[in-house]
Structure 1
Amino acid sequence: MKDPATEISRRLEDQIRAEIRARNGVLPFDRFMELALYAPGLGYYVAGAAKFGPGGDFVTAPECSPLFGCCLAVQCAEVLERLGGGEILEFGAGSGALAVQILMELESLGRLPECYRILEPSPDLQDRQVSSIQAAAPHLLARCDWLTALPERFTGVVIANEVLDAMPVHRFRLGMDGEILEIGVSEGDGRLVEVAVPPISPGLVEAVSSLHAAGLADAPGYTSEINLRLAPWLATLSIALERGLALLIDYGYPRAEYYQPERCMGTLRCHHRHRAHSNPYVHLGLQDITAHVDFTAAAEAGIAAGFDPAGFTTQAHFLIGCGIDRLMQTSAPEAALDLALGAKQLLLPTAMGERFKVLGLAKGVDGPWSGFIVRDLSARL
């Protein structure tokens, strides 16, 4: 009997090879990454294997502690109150843990949204999210709605937790004479291989040249990635969001830190069974592929799309501003130890506290917002 995982990986590789041949032997890396993560029925996020938590490939903040979702709920409640109501839209809700945490805390605050929408293209993950909410808060399931595309118009809060890092990125390298090369995927010796070729993707030369104009990423051999899909994504989101606050939560840096000389091999990472490595061409469809977020690019794209900057800070400062200390003090005594351990993972600089950042983008609603009042680092963007 064939191993299902091995069969998925084989079929996905066949599809990638077919696209390489259809594109004269070189597939831009962003398209390879898109297929590896999202190819229908085969990509990592749609093929059905466990991804989140101890039994998956990585752990996200909601799996670390319910305090994460409770703090986000506090920020959501503030926005919904200022708007006089509205909805919540969560991108890629993973296991459904964050939705459960937010909904239950909002219920306790008397500030439930009119609807909790989850934009999730994976039928398998949709089923898992329904099961999570059904098990923890069955009376709130009717308030939830699953989408595969953005609604035409809505008002409320947008939550994108560890979404931007999974957007397909372009990769580039500077040649020995400083020329801009694009990293693509080709075939060689019976396997997928990485190649550096003259740029074939529209917009890549201009984007890398803008880095050079700022004195960044300009040394021969410098290799990194750039997200050319971010601006169109935020432009589309801005059209849909009439009024509200978007919270983008992810690991990343302001641009000047992202493209430091010592980060000369980029930030691309793969995650498989809780092991991080740098080879995206193995475990096809069975491993996550991510890149850190350039939060300066996200802020600039958001402003260009019609958003107002609402704040930028570390995850630790955001959670402190949303009252994580108070939430711990009001928890049941028997849960105190587990919550303390989870809080350390969320807050400590050596864990998630400094590595993860939160960017707020507002439209038609004014702050200040609790999550950004402790320490707003927008001046670093």
Structure 2
Amino acid sequence: MSKKPLEHYVNPAPFDPLSVTKLTPQQERYYTASQWQIMWWKFRKHKLAVYSGIILGCMYLVALFAEIVAPYNLHNREIDFIYAPPQAVHFFHEDEFIGPFVYGYDYTLNMENLKREYTSNPSQVNELQFFCRSNQDYAFWGLISGDFHIVCPPENGTFFVWGTDRLGRDIFSRIIYGSRISLTIGLIGVFISFVLGTLLGGMAGYFGGLIDTFVLRAIEILKSFPTLPLFMTLSALLPVTWSPLGVFFGISIILGLLDWPGLARAVRSKLLSLREEDFTTAAQLMGASHARVIGRHLLPSFSSHLIASATLAVPMMILGETSLSFLGLGLRAPITSWGVLLNEAQNISAVVLYPWLLLPVQPVILVVLCYNFLGDGLRDAADPYK
């Protein structure tokens, strides 16, 4: 059998660089981008998550500058306008453009049901003032005195956009002040839950053995208790002599300590499978410590689940605080939160006569929905398989 010449096996044609397919600028930009840039590009495609993030950012910004945004101070009382209904904002009076204004009130007491009845008085046109100074002085974060507001009540008039409560306090202003507590307590609780869940779940899944058994038994014990009665019991154990700030941190810690088992169980199950992967073995053979293997190699492998769990846990914390405060076992006056404001809606008779007392439930629903949509968008953006 004759041998074939070498040219039969070797391609003598020289390499032609023009035959290589060139990348488009968009492809080159994608392949040279970092992981965080790719996540951001994927997140921007989720329009509902983007809008939810913007709404949440605005709400936290309002909570940060609550004294400036709220037209009235937190404890300001208008004793002549108890249970006053919401005032509608108008722009035209008798077909003449005036600008933002509200009509004044005429007050009568219904002797049949003892209901305070307010009617609009078109002869009282109260124009609103913007970016102004008013007699509603405040201490910004309790440190800096000021009187500047974005919108001020009309001089010798009122501006109750969401009505008043039984003491004549503006509900809209109190909701703005309450957002500072309700939005913050969720972040503190999630931070505690996230640290405990990733730490204990990571140790249980990575090391196994007695550590895994101990963590699993602790999770099963906590999960065996009914959630709401356990919340109520632990909240009732807080001393009544504690300051409002101490009660706030106490409730935050309780919410965080009771929410970590779900995340810990998910982290444990994921690490049980990832610790057998080749990249884990390679990191161990290169001398990486256990903490580095878990923190730099294993946990980032399912960051999408961690992000989704964190964003979904925040509204659960807010709902937990709202439920406890509504039942009178969470935060208490003089602290103001959305749950404390809803506590006044327990009187069914008052709600029937003055339904605007239920308005503090609106920001709770909005925040929960926005966090859910934001969590979906972040999960899809961080998922490497999408």
Q: TM-score, normalised by structure 1?
A: 0.25
Q: TM-score, normalised by structure 2?
A: 0.25
- Structure with the bigger percentage of strand: 1
